Structures are given as C-alpha cells and as structure tokens.
Amino acid sequence: MKILIDEGKCVGAGTCVLAAADVFDQRDEDGIVVLLDDDPPHALLPQVMDAAARCPALAIEVVE
Amino acid sequence: MTNTPPLKTQPTVRSCPFDPPEEYRTLREQEPVAPVTFPDGAAGWLVTRYDDVRTVLSDPRFSAKRIVLRPGGGGMEDAPPPPPGLFIMMDAPEHTRFRRLLTGQFTVRRMRQLAPAVEKIVAEQLDAMAAAEGPVDLVQAFALPVPSLVICELLGVPYADREEFQRNSATIVRLHSSPEEFQQAQAALRGYIHQLVLAKREKPTDDILSELVQSGELTDEELVGVGVLLLIAGHETTANMIALSTMCLLQNPEQLAALRADPSLMDGAVEELLRYLTVVQFGVRRTALEDVELHGQQIKEGSTVVASLASGNRDTEHLADDPEALDVGRPHSAHLAFGHGIHQCLGQQLARAELKAALSALLDRFPTLRLAVPVEEVPMRDDMLVYGVHELPVTW
Ligand code: SF4
C-alpha cells in the first residue's frame, strides 16, 4: 500500500491521527499531517482507508 | 398570476428534544435537494443526505462567503468581502492563511497535553456544585463554566469578564436577534477583544492571542476577528453539548447504565452523542459559485445552499444500522457534527477532550444525578443557532 498526502490541502483537523495513530501524526508547529509510515503493514489498511475517508480536506490518497 | 408554489420552510419544529424535525426523513427520501426558505427568511436549497452534505461542504464550487440571495437570483459580483479575520467566511487560499496560523495550537497532541488542566477545571466546578444543595441549573453550574474557563485560559481572555461576552455571544447566535441587537453585540465583542489585543501587544502573556499578536502576521482588525470567532466557538457549542448530552443520557437509562458499567466506552459515547445530537441545528450555509447540478436540481450560481449536518447524521447512507437510535457502544462513525471540508471544526480535538472529561467526572461524582423538573419543562434552545438547553435543573 502506498499513501500520498497533500500538505497543501491539509487543514490540520487531526481526524487521521484519531483513525490511524500508527501511520499519521501532526507537526507541532502548524498541525499539518505527517506520514509516519508511507508503506504500513497490510493489517493497517482498514484504519488507513478510514483515515482517508474521514479526512475533511481530502488530503490523503491510498494506492493499493 | 404566477402558479409557482410557495416555498416550503426549513423544518425547525421537533417532536422529540433529541431528534431533528421529522420532516428531514421525508426530505432525504423524496426531495434530497429541496427549494426552501430558511429560518432567517432567505431562500435557497436545503440538502439533507449524508453524501450530499459532504459534497456541498468539500466542493470548491460552493463558497463559504455568505451572500444574501437577492430576489430573482443574482451573481457574486458585488458580494461584500468577509469581515477581517472571520475565516469561517473565507475560501482558500485566504482561509488557508488563517487556518495555518492556528492549527498548531489545536493538534491531537496539544489537546492531550491539555487534558490534566481540563480535568482540574472540571473537578473544581463539580466541587462547587457538590457543595451546593440540589437542585442546581447544570448549565450555569457546570456546562457553561467548563468550556468558558478553558477557552479563556487558552486564548488569554480574563474569565472575570465572562458575563458580558457570554451575553453578547448569545445575542449573536440567537435566531431572532434584531439586526441592531446583532450589530451591537458584535461591536461590543470586537471592542472588547481589541482592547485585549492592545494589552497583549504591550505585555504579552502565555496564550494564543499573545502568540498571534507577536507573530506579526495579522493586522489588528484580523486579530480581533480571529479572537471573537475563537471565543464564541469555544464556549457555545461545547457548553450545549455537555448539558444536552447529560439530559439525553438521563432520558436513556440503559445507555447511561452501559456507560457507567464500562467507562472505556466514553470515547465512543462522546462521538455517538456528537452525531446523535448535532447541536449546529440549522446546518451550514454555502453559496454556489457557478451553476451546479445535484440530484437533477439545477442550483444556479449565487444561490444559497444549506447542508443539514443533523439530517446527514441520521441518514442510513451514513449508518445502515439504525441511525435514529442512540447507541454508546457503536463504533466511531465518520459523523458530520464538526462539519466537513476545509472548515471542519478547528477546535474539535478540544471539544472531544472537554466532553470526555466533563461527562466522565460528572457521572462519577453524582451517581444519583437526575432531572429536577419533568422533561417537558426543560427549556430547549429551538431559537438558537446552537441547539441545547437554556437551563437544565438537576438534583442528586
Ligand atoms: S485528517 Fe486530513 S486535514 Fe486533518 S490532519 Fe489529517 S490530513 Fe490533515
């Protein structure tokens, strides 16, 4: 799985962190999403898909 | 004589204090994009399905600049610019500039770090409440002070001044405030925050307003707009969620018992209460920047569209499994209570932290908490943009 994030779109809502804390974090200074693992284990796929679906700014893309 | 049928009005009358008006269900089924007049008299479209609400709130063809619909339509040409700093009424990229300055203050991590301070504020309010003899009004004794104290501390606003800014804030979110009352309240609040900005420039303290002043990124007018917005948003919504959630749990004893039996359900219960109660009761307003077709309806450029968060959250498109039921054991759904799109609530992690701390401690501290008046006598906030209760008499 490959995760692409668009920092330009991110509005720092943090819903991705709640959905998949092993994969997403936020930068302290500006709250913008940080990818902790751009190729996480397959077992995390449901959480990652959930994070992408929840992201209010459509900033997360998952390529399987 | 024309034979255009008169527009329906947006449904506002509830038959149950915790459910949105029943007509929403019919609208979702039969007329998902419905021509209506809104409670303030403007005309436009009402969108009620989960997916459509998400579309309207995330598609850049819908603008957050609030344009009053002129009779007979009209374009965007002479839309007034949003007041300085009021970034909820801006689109990207103007909006992005403000949001970026603030998001670092409201991250998941920051809010976790803040949890002990929130818990302390909660405990102090409950101590004071316990010292009084019931019945008390839970709104004044607990639900309003907790988020007000927290946002005052975060922003750097003296809590001692709360009486005035709470009154002004209430006027701003009251549906039937006259234009004069609205203007006056807004001017008073702006004047108040402006004085604070000036004071922080002289002598910065450790708070968001001081940081914003020192960042040098915003003009005074913009600082005032941001400050007013955060102050209002920071207490009205959460205060009503705390009080309304309490009332709702008291009226749903099996749910309350489940939550008391297993406190680990609290995170999920908070999400479910947010979804179920959706306190932004009349929805979120947008303006079409071009002609848009949605479910076969032609939405003309310049039209107002209201996306109903409350209706979307009760849609089977969102939750196949009985969306009309409160179920604190439900897995966390991607609900719309905080909105969607680039304007999704900046303070949502703060709201979660406050709700969790407040409800956990309240239930813990008062095992025999109950309403002190019959449920029909609780004055509901049907007349406010943020739904909830005006008062909640409780005893224990
Ligand atoms: S959910 Fe989306 S907008 Fe929010 S922090 Fe994550 S990537 Fe950014």
pLDDT in tens, B174-188: 888 888 998 999 999
Q: What is the ipTM of this complex?
A: 0.91
Q: What mean pLDDT comes out for the span B195-206? A: 95
Atom from ligand 1 closest to the CA of residue A12: 5
At B235, the pLDDT band (50, 70, 90 cuts) reads confident
Atom from ligand 1 closest to the CA of residue A13: 4
Q: How far is CA B3 from CA B6, B7, B73, B297, in A?
A: 9, 12, 18, 19
- Strands of B284-360, DSSP E: 284-288, 292-294, 297-299, 304-307
Q: Which of A11, A26, A53 sits opposite B109 (nearest CB)?
A: A26
How much is the pTM? 0.94
Task: Assess whether pLDDT exceeds 70 at residue B246.
Answer: yes
Per cent of chain B over pLDDT 90 is: 84
* Residues B26-78: tens digit of each pLDDT: 999 999 999 999 887 778 999 999 999 999 999 999 999 865 544 434 445 45
Q: Tell me, yes or no, if A31 comes closer than 8 A to chain B by beta carbon.
A: yes
Chains A & B: contacts with CB separation below 8 Å: 69
Closest Cα in chain A, distance from residue B102 (Å): 7
Higher pLDDT, A56 or B173: A56
Q: What mean pLDDT comes out for the span B181-196? A: 94
Q: Tell me, yes or no, if A27 comes closer than 8 A to chain B by beta carbon.
A: yes
| List of residues 6+ apart from B1 with CB closer than 8 A | none
Q: What is the mean pLDDT of each run of 10 residues along chain A (64 residues)?
A: 93 94 94 93 94 95 88
Distance from residue B321's CA to the centre of ligand 1 (Å) = 27
* Residues B161-171: tens digit of each pLDDT: 999 999 999 89
Q: Tell me, yes or no, if B348 comes closer than 8 A to chain A by beta carbon.
A: yes
Q: What pLDDT, on the 0 to 100 scale, is given for residue B5? A: 62
From chain B, the residues in CB contact with A53 under 8 A are 334
| List of residues 6+ apart from A36 with CB closer than 8 A | A22, A23, A24, A25
Q: Which two tokens stand for residue A58?
A: 């459509």
Give CA angle at B103 (B267, B344), nearest 5°: 60
- Most confidently modeled of A57-61, B130-134, B233-237? A57-61
Q: What pLDDT, on the 0 to 100 scale, is given for residue B67? A: 59
Mean pLDDT of chain B: 92
Distance CA A63, CA B333 (A): 23
Q: What pLDDT, on the 0 to 100 scale, is given for residue B66? A: 66
| Residue A2 host element (H or E) | strand A2-5
Closest Cα in chain B, distance from residue A9 (Å): 8
* Residues B276-323: tens digit of each pLDDT: 999 999 999 999 999 999 998 999 998 899 999 999 999 999 999 999
Distance from residue A52's CA to the centre of ligand 1 (Å) = 8
Q: Tell me, yes or no, if A64 comes closer than 8 A to chain B by beta carbon.
A: no
- Ligand 1, pocket-test mutation among A55, A58, A61, A62, most atoms within 8 A of CB: A55
Mutation target to probe the B interface, by most B beta carbons within 10 A, among A30, A32, A33 is A30
Q: Tell me, yes or no, if A32 comes closer than 8 A to chain B by beta carbon.
A: yes
Closest Cα in chain A, distance from residue B156 (Å): 19
Q: Tell me, yes or no, if B104 comes closer than 8 A to chain A by beta carbon.
A: yes
- The residue of chain B nearest to residue A16, with distances taken between CA atoms, is B108
* Residues B328-386: tens digit of each pLDDT: 999 988 999 999 999 999 999 999 999 999 999 999 999 999 999 999 999 999 999 99
